[in-house]
Amino acid sequence: MSNENPNKKQQQLEQFTTDDSGKKMTTNQGLKISEDEFSLKAGVRGPTLLEDFQFREKMTHFDHERIPERIVHARGSGAHGEFELYESLEDVTKAGFLTDTSRKTPVFVRFSTVAGSKGSADLARDARGFSTKFYTEEGNYDLVGNNIPVFFIQDAIKFPDLVHAVKPEPHNEIPQAASAHDTFWDFVANNQESAHMVMWTMSDRAIPRSLRMMEGFGVHTFRFVNAEGKAHFVKFHWKPVLGTHSVVWDEAQKLNGKNPDFHKADLFESIENGDYPEFELGVQLVSEEGEFKFDFDVLDPTKLWPEEDVPVRIVGKMTLNRNPDNFFAETEQVAFHPGHLVPGIDFTNDPLLQGRLFSYTDTQLIRLGGPNFHEIPINRPVCPFHNNQRDGYGRQTINKGQVSYHKNSLANNTPEPATPEEGGFEHYQEKMEGRKVRARSDSFKDHFSQATLFWNSMSAPEKEHIKNAFSFELGKCKSESVRRQVVDMFANVSMELATEVAKNIGVEAPTGSDTGVTKSSPALSQENTVKSAATRKVLLIAGDGFEGNVPSIIEKLEAEGAEVEVVSESMGMLKGSDGSELKVDQTFLTADSVLYDALYAVGGKDLSKKFVQTTSYFLNEAFMHFKPIGATHEGTKWLEANDIADSPGVVHGNDADSFTHSFIEAIKAHRHWNREV
Ligand code: HDE
């Protein structure tokens, strides 16, 4: 985004932004430096002197450059943006950013993988974090969600166990960013509340095509409170305008090698290109009176509210339109917390949410080094903040005056609490009673019905992917006992699933029966998502002497929002038989089919054997990944040579108009699952 109309957050950040280019070099004390290549020595061949303050300052700063990575969600990508409201939600909440349609609320979003280290690869099979900081006029509101609407566990006290189980095993630190190992599956089998979320992580949802093409969920049930003090239960949804799309597992594994930054780069580049990622905000609402109307507990974070039962009301849109200027200062130092609330939004007693309210501040204290992390520019609210908190490591604010306590008379008893009318936060006055117990409600004990609901909602190819994912992950487990326990556990979800996985991984077929739930929720299947060619990447394979009006076909593809890159044997320009020219963007060394959504084979004259072989490799790989493939003129011969010309999603023909039309339709479909591979 241009900086022509900076929003309030951007204006605030600009005060802390600096550009060192074109400037004289100084120490951190502002002293100009005359030489930065040689340390101060006693003689040119002598020892370095302790008095070399310039060397010491530079080296000390360098030695302290790293901070601990997040214990979970270490690998992340951030973006700035804005949230606009379509309609006021004043009937259910008094939150300013959800009632005032004239506002544009600045936001900062951080997407993340969960299990891997900061330097791990993007296409791990994992949930994705989807955290949004709304810089509202009433303070920061953080929606710290995931791309999966349920969670592995029901009580926060089990979180360290879950994370220990999924992280690399402690004796050998293997495997990185993967759940395909014994300890994770041992945890699953012995903590069966994980069943529903595991169905999601074994599904296509865990390998998104792009961070721009995944849903976001607040997961917990939160509470909205309106100006009259009336409350509703609410679940938050982010719906990607481009639809929800995934890659296939073989492609994911290859992508992790070909471009471990695939998602990070995709987000960054789409914002640089002006293809701003957009997500609509939706809410599901249930009145307080409806608390007990479901066959699950609304406080249970392993349950979703089927959209067919509780419709998602779409209320606004977030557009991510500016990349951070500095990864560390912004994306690394941003500190989210589900307890950063504004009036009109409150918690429920979900025991997972309750525990998170402790953990997120605690973790920032170690990660960001003290209690003043709210003063780091990316974390500062855009509204004023005043209280009697003082001092601590790295304090930046210079609080004036004699008084830093409440109540006082010397400063007229200020800063003073605000009344609710003045915007003071009021906790929802929920009636509480009960005994002090370490226990779980019986209403949390059905672990399998919604896992079956999810399974029932999948299309045939999605079910196939889930079976393969289980078979891959359990195939990597060394303990036969763990494998068997997991199969027995998932027999509760679906006998079909468990029986097939048992066969694949060589354990005894389960006996018994699954939940027998027959209900499904079509909204859970990615088959029913938005289909679009916008921002799809097409790799055009061509050599000198290519035929047909290729530049005009490129133009038409681009008019639909697709992006075309040309690959050939070497960089430079290609000349067509009619004299038209094509600029080569990639060589066969830098490109690969997995980096693109579709291939378009154009061909050329007198191509080398290597050219033809590499093209065959690319085409077959794209074919195996169910991707759309197009071919015109010479390129069509390649389809025939590889025996893929007559398959679904493979389009060819020399009539430019009808070819382009059919190819665009094939690209919109994203993948062609009805292909025989
Ligand atoms: Fe988190 N989680 N979490 N989590 N979580 C963190 O906070 C934690 C949970 C989520 O981009 C940590 O600042 C506990 C659910 C995201 O900076 C830590 C429990 C959901 C991010 C933490 C959960 C999330 C985190 C690590 C069980 C989806 C990345 C660094 C009760 C709704 C935020 C940090 C970012 C990060 C604790 C469960 C989402 C340790 C104890 C459920 C997106 O505080």
Categorize the per-residue pLDDT at 113 as very low, low, confident or very high, splitting at 50, 70 and 90.
very high
Same structural domain, 565 and 645: yes
Same structural domain, 253 and 328: yes
Give Cα 513 to chain centroid, integer Å: 36
- Across the chain, mean pLDDT equals 97
Residue range(s) defining the domain that contains residue 554: 537-669
Pocket of ligand 1 contains residue 149 by CB under 6 Å: no
Burial 415-437 (b: 16+ CB within 10 A, else e): eeeeeeeeeeeeeeeeeeeeeee
Pocket of ligand 1 contains residue 39 by CB under 6 Å: no
CA dist 325 and 379 (Å) reads: 15
Same structural domain, 480 and 505: yes
**What would the mean pLDDT of 519-529 be, rounded to a whole number?**
98
The answer, yes or no, to whether residue 330 has pLDDT greater than 60, is: yes
CA of 465 to the centre of ligand 1 (A): 28
- End-to-end C-alpha distance for the chain, whole angstroms: 43
Known binding-site residue numbers for heme: 70, 110, 159, 356, 360, 367
**How far is CA 282 from each of CA 217, 485, 645, rounded to the nearest angstrom?**
9, 38, 43
User: Domain containing 573 — which CATH number?
Assistant: 3.40.50.880
Pocket of ligand 1 contains residue 133 by CB under 6 Å: no
Out of 7, 80, 140, 146, which one is annotated catalytic? 146
CA of 384 to the centre of ligand 1 (A): 27
Omega cis (within 30) before 175: yes
The pLDDT score that the predictor gives to residue 641 is 96
CA of 672 to the centre of ligand 1 (A): 36
| Nearest one of 70, 65, 107 to 85, comparing CA atoms | 107
Same structural domain, 512 and 551: no
**What would the mean pLDDT of 301-319 be, rounded to a whole number?**
98
Examine the fold and report which residue of 501, 524, 547 is the final residue of a domain before the chain moves on.
Answer: 524
Query: pLDDT tens digits for 504-519?
Result: 999 999 998 999 999 9
The residue whose CA has the least distance to atom 11 of ligand 1 is 110
* Residue 69 forms part of a structural domain: no
Same structural domain, 250 and 364: yes
**Which ligand 1 atom is at minimum distance from the Cα of 110?**
11
Q: pLDDT above 90 covers what percent of the chain?
A: 99
Categorize the per-residue pLDDT at 3 as very low, low, confident or very high, splitting at 50, 70 and 90.
low
Query: pLDDT tens digits for 528-579?
Result: 999 999 999 999 999 999 999 999 999 999 999 999 999 999 999 999 999 9
Pairing assessment for the beta strands 586-587 and 563-568 based on DSSP bridges: parallel
In the numeric block, which tokens belong to residue 622? 């794209």
**Which ligand 1 atom is at minimum distance from the Cα of 144?**
43
Domain count of the chain?
3
CA dist 144 and 294 (Å) reads: 25
Examine the fold and report which residue of 379, 413, 430 is the final residue of a domain before the chain moves on.
Answer: 379
Same structural domain, 337 and 370: yes
Torsion angles phi and psi, residue 547, rounded to 5? -110, 160
Query: pLDDT tens digits for 251-278?
Result: 999 999 999 999 999 999 999 999 999 9
The answer, yes or no, to whether residue 308 has pLDDT greater than 70, is: yes
Examine the fold and report which residue of 349, 379, 409 is the final residue of a domain before the chain moves on.
Answer: 379
The answer, yes or no, to whether residue 2 has pLDDT greater than 70, is: no
Same structural domain, 344 and 452: no
CB neighbours (10 Å) of residue 527? 15
Annotation marks residue 146 as catalytic: yes
Pocket of ligand 1 contains residue 219 by CB under 6 Å: yes
